[in-house]
Amino acid sequence: MAFMKKEEGSAVKSFLKGFATGFIEAIICYPTEFIKTQLQLQSKSNPEYTGIMDCARKTVKNHGSLALYRGAAPLILGSSVKQSVRWATYQNVSNNFRDENGNIGVLPNMFCGACAGAAEAIFAVTPIETIKTRATDDLRRGTGKYTGSFDATIKIVKAEGLGGIYRGVVPTIAKQATNQMIRFPIQQFYMNLLFKGDPEKKANPWLNGLCGAMAGGTSVVMTMPQDTIKTRMQGEQAKELYKGAFDCLKQTVSRNGVGFLWTGTWPRFVRVTLDVGITFTIYPLLNQFF
C-alpha cells in the first residue's frame, strides 16, 4: 500500500484509525448498501424495483427517507469494527513482508489483503451483514417481525442462537478475502501507474483515495457473485430455501440465470467506490492524530 510504512507494535494505532475510518465511511455510504440489498433480494420473475432510482423512490415514498437507513446501526458499528480488524491484521501481517522503506511485492500484498479480508469476515462482517440483510428483507416483505436492527439482533439470537447471525459465513469469507486480496495490490498498481513512484504523491491521502476508489470499482465486477449469494443466504427465508452456499448458487442460477449473480452491480459499484475511496483517504489523514 502506497502510504504504509513498516511499523512494529502498531496494532493499537491501526485498530483506532480503522475504527474511525469505518464509522465515517458507513454513515456516508449506507443508503447505497440498502438499495443494493433490496435489489438482490427481489425475484427476477416478479421484480419490485426496476433499478436504483426506482428502489430509492419507492422506499422513501412508502416508508420515509429514514427507511434508507433501516438496519444501519449494526452496519455502522460493524463497519467500524470491520475496518479496525482489517487494518490491524493487514498492518501486522504486511510488516513481515515490507522492506525498510515500506515497499511490498504484489504477491505478498495479495496474501496480506486476503488475511485481512478473512479476519474481518469472521469477526465483523458476517454477523453485521446478516442482521442488516434480515432487517432489510423484513421491510421489503412487510412482515413486521422487527422494529429495527437491535430488535432483530435480540430476536434472532434468542430464536436461533449465534448461528442465526452467522448465516452465509462461507461466501462472506470468500467475498471479503477476495475483495481485500484484489484491492490492496490494485490500489498500489494504480498509484505506481499514475504517479511513477513519486514519494510525495504516494504519501498524499487524496491521491491514495482516488486510486482506492479505482481499486474498489475494479474489485466489484470480480466479486459480485459472492456478494449476491451471501445476501441471499442471509435473507429471512434462507434457512428454509437453501441447504448451504452451493445449493443457493445452484438454485439462483437455475431460476434466474448466470447474469443474476451480478444483480445490484451498479449500486454496489457506487457504494464500494465511495467506500474504498473514502477509506484510503481517511486512514492516512488520521496519521496526523496517531
User: What span, in angstroms and rounded, lies between the C-alpha atoms of 119 and 253?
Assistant: 29
In 10 A of CB 23, how many CB atoms? 17
Each residue's pLDDT tens digit, 121-131: 999 889 988 88
5 in a domain, yes or no?
no
Between CA 85 and CA 117 the distance in angstroms is 9
Considering the domain boundaries, does residue 6 fall inside one?
A: no
Q: What is the mean pLDDT of the chain?
A: 87
1 lies in some domain: no
The tens digit of pLDDT for each residue in 224-266 reads 998 899 888 888 788 888 988 899 999 999 999 999 999 889 8
Is 118 in contact with 178 (CB distance < 8 Å)?
no
Instruction: Please give the share of the chain, as a percent, with pLDDT higher than 70.
Output: 96
Is the Cα dihedral 192, 19, 181, 178 positive or negative?
negative
Give the three-class secondary structure for 6.
coil
Q: What is the dihedral of CA 195, 193, 227, 61, to 10 degrees?
A: 50
89 contacts: CB under 8 Å, gap ≥ 6: 115, 116, 119, 120
DSSP-derived letter for residue 223 is H
Structural domain includes residue 233 = yes
In a domain, 251, yes or no: yes
CATH number, domain with residue 34: 1.50.40.10
pTM (2 d.p.)? 0.72
- DSSP code string of 34-103: HHHHHHHHS-SSS-S-SSHHHHHHHHHHHH-GGGGGTTHHHHHHHHHHHHHHHHHHHHHHHTTT--TTS-
Domain that residue 43 falls in: 11-288
Does residue 159 form part of some domain? yes
H-run or E-run covering 117: helix 106-120
Q: Tell me what the mean pLDDT of segment 134-151 comes to.
A: 84
Residues in Cβ contact with 190 at an 8 Å cutoff, skipping those fewer than 6 apart: 211, 214, 215
**Residue at 122 is within a domain:** yes
- SS3 state at 257: coil
What average pLDDT does this structure show over 166-191? 90
Task: Extract the C-alpha cell encoding 186.
Answer: 490494485
Question: How many domains does the chain contain in total?
Answer: 1
Mean pLDDT of 40-55: 83
> Is 3 a member of any domain?
no
